[in-house]
């Protein structure tokens, strides 16, 4: 293997949830549905728990994009999750704009516990977007 980074695609940090999206992401692996190996997950209890500062930290430290695998209406902690996660996203996007960052580097989509394929499709197209926008 030559030196340097093997994985030079856009780096994506996924905030996924213990009960809902983690099982889907695990199942994507089980089904060998491939996605770029530059996609990393940090597991949290609920998608509405993500602090904007974590997202900004990731983007400032070198991640190209952050993907929130939201619980949506499946959230075991209640209906308000969707709205609250949306709130986190819009607050953070505003902060990103203020800092001159492209708000589209943050993406959110509901990923249910069996949404392995949608997950893979989302991160692939997000990765594609990030690749293009970094080249432009």
3-class secondary structure, 41: strand
Q: CA angle, 30 as apex, 29 and 36 as ends, to 5°?
A: 15
The two structure tokens encoding residue 127: 């990765």
Q: Does 61 bind other proteins (CB under 8 A)?
A: yes
Q: What angle do CA 62, 64, 65 make, to 5 degrees?
A: 125
Question: In the complex with other proteins, which residue's Cβ is closer, 2 or 136?
Answer: 2
From the CB of 117, what's the least distance to other proteins, in Å?
A: 10
Q: Which of 10, 52, 65, 72 touches other proteins (CB under 8 A)?
A: 52
Q: Does 131 bind other proteins (CB under 8 A)?
A: no
Query: CB–CB of 88/66 below 8 Å?
Result: no
Q: Which residues fall within 8 angstroms of residue 76, CB to CB, at 6 or more apart?
A: 19, 20
65 binds other proteins (CB under 8 A): no
CB of 135 to other proteins, least distance (A): 20
For other proteins, the binding residues (CB under 8 A) are: 1, 5-7, 11, 13, 19-20, 22-23, 25-30, 32-38, 40-46, 48-54, 57-58, 61-63, 74-78, 80-81, 84, 87-88, 91, 112-114
């Amino acid at each position: 293997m030559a030196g340097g980074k093997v994985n030079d695609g856009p780096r994506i940090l996924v905030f996924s949830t213990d009960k809902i999206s983690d099982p889907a992401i695990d199942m994507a692996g089980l089904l060998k549905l491939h996605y770029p190996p530059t996609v990393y997950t940090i597991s949290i209890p609920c998608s509405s728990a993500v602090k904007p500062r974590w997202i900004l930290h990731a983007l400032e430290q070198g991640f190209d994009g952050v993907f929130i695998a939201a619980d949506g209406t499946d959230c075991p902690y209640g209906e308000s999750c969707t709205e609250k996660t949306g709130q986190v996203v819009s607050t953070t996007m505003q902060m990103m704009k203020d800092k001159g960052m492209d708000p589209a580097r943050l993406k959110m989509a509901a990923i249910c516990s069996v949404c392995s394929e949608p997950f893979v499709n989302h991160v692939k197209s997000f990765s594609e977007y990030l690749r293009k926008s970094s080249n432009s």
